[in-house]
Amino acid sequence: MILNYAEYIINYQTDKIALIEDGKTVTYNQLAKYVRRFAYTLKSRDIRSGDRIIISMHDSIEWVVAYLACVKIGAVPIQASPLLLHHRIVDAINSIKSRAIISEDKFDDIMLITPHDIMVSGPELDEYYEFSPDEIAITTPTSGSTSESKFVCHRHQNLVNYINMASPYLKIDHDTIMFCTSKMSHVAGLNMTLTLSLANRGTAILTKKKLTPSVIFNIITGESVTHFFSSPGVIAMMLKTSIDLVENKLKFAGCGSQRLPSELFSRFENLFRVPIRACYGISECCSLVSCEIFSDNPSLDRRSVGHINSLPDGVVIEIKNSQGNICRIDEVGEIYIKHPCTASFYWNNWQKTRESFHGEWFKTKDLAFINQDGYIVYVSRVDELVKINGLAVSIIEVEDVIMRYPGVEDCLVSVKQNRNNIDKLNAMIVFNGDESSLRKYLQLHLEAYKIPTFIEQVKEIPKTWSGKKFRRRQ
């Protein structure tokens, strides 16, 4: 592979369809022209290798062209959700010293490039930047559920390693038609939608539409999707509808970011005739660590919210206690990962870099244990296991129960202090139903100390920069 991911993609000379966006199609030959033209535009505006460029647009053909053109000339693209508040993007511009922003919005004191500047006719740039393996190719935002945003710096070699590692593991090839509901402003959406599908000469599906069940089902069936990756909230929403699914061509399905409630496993499989896999990944490892078929194995006890049995080539996991020693069987500890795609550092954040990067190993802040059968059993994030009245509560377990209640579209459970400054559970729920009926349901399915003291009915769940639920203390 050419050590410039963008150049590798656009060198594929064919009229095969590369991108589909809400009915519009772009072939690989067309994509190459668009990328070379926009690369020329960037160079003409004095954008050079190493310059950091924020991309803040909805998923679209223009997004893909902008991203690949940046990589082609050696500029460093940085993803940003267009749904972020304006001042948060301004903070990021200042923090990472961005040279320009590609966005539909207006920003002061920075070079603004609009989507209209991307798909223009004009000269094409044939030359490309020859990365060395250790140069930074992309910088992606990440955050835990409670911390401030960090920017993960990935070497160009990481992209090559990711393609070589993940393609056979996820069974992706030139016949793949990929649809991922995670947006490309998040590393999982970027790598699933683009990095893997285009590197393998497949087809990527994009949409600007709101992801309703009908939109998702129409894409899966209408575009003959073979690989589908999503999140628990979206899958739960899909399975609460009465849509009759016609014949589909799914070969591979995955669910990541959080646990999918167990009762939804079989419903998904019965509907699509394909097993859904539990994906575990972190931005610092290009988003993929493992992808397992969900299991009803009785050895996976009640603490389990997921399990890991097999890993891609080159990936190693160890579970360590607070003293840094390898945990015993059934002892809960923190996951450390050795991975061929581990990032190099956090941009301008030496303290977090030192805390998380330990030579070849990355310290994840994820809790797990190894059971008697050798499964790595995922428990929760460090910040998702809280103490209420002196008792440990997994807020993910509470969210799972709430999500099962009819009419609940999404929820977020966090810690909030009462009038006496004592920690209690607070549930923000996208729900228009009756709260008293919901509380009666929770009393039947949760121990009393796990039932949220506070319930807020909201229109939308707050999100971090990278699109995860924002579990700030209140």
1 or 139, which is more confident: 139
Q: Which residues lie across from 139 on neighbouring strands?
A: 78, 153
Question: What secondary structure letter does DSSP report for 11?
Answer: T
Task: Read off the pLDDT of residues 320-355 as tens digits, 9 standing for 90 and up.
Answer: 998 989 999 989 899 999 999 999 999 999 999 999
Rounded CA gap, 357 and 154, in Å?
Answer: 13
User: Mean pLDDT throughout 64-90?
Assistant: 91
- Quote the pLDDT of residue 304: 43
**Nearest C-alpha neighbor of 448 from the set 408, 374, 391:** 391
Asked if pLDDT for residue 373 goes beyond 90, the answer is no
Asked if pLDDT for residue 258 goes beyond 50, the answer is yes
Question: What secondary structure letter does DSSP report for 195?
Answer: I
Task: Read off the pLDDT of residues 269-316 as tens digits, 9 standing for 90 and up.
Answer: 888 888 888 888 888 999 889 887 655 454 444 334 457 777 888 999
Q: Residue 143: which pLDDT band, with cuts at 50, 70 and 90?
A: low
- Quote the pLDDT of residue 156: 92
- Quote the pLDDT of residue 295: 52
- Quote the pLDDT of residue 303: 39
Is the CB of residue 91 less than 8 Å from the CB of residue 98? no
Mean pLDDT of the chain: 87
Asked if pLDDT for residue 231 goes beyond 60, the answer is yes
Q: Which domains does the chain have, with CATH numbers?
A: 5-370 (3.40.50.12780), 389-458 (3.30.300.30)
Q: Residue 384: which pLDDT band, with cuts at 50, 70 and 90?
A: confident
Q: Residue 470: which pLDDT band, with cuts at 50, 70 and 90?
A: low
CA Rg, the chain, in Å?
22
Is the CB of residue 440 less than 8 Å from the CB of residue 268? no
CA distances in angstroms from 68 to 5, 225, 254, 302, 423, listed in the order given = 8, 23, 26, 45, 47
This prediction has a pTM of 0.83
- Quote the pLDDT of residue 305: 46
- Quote the pLDDT of residue 204: 97
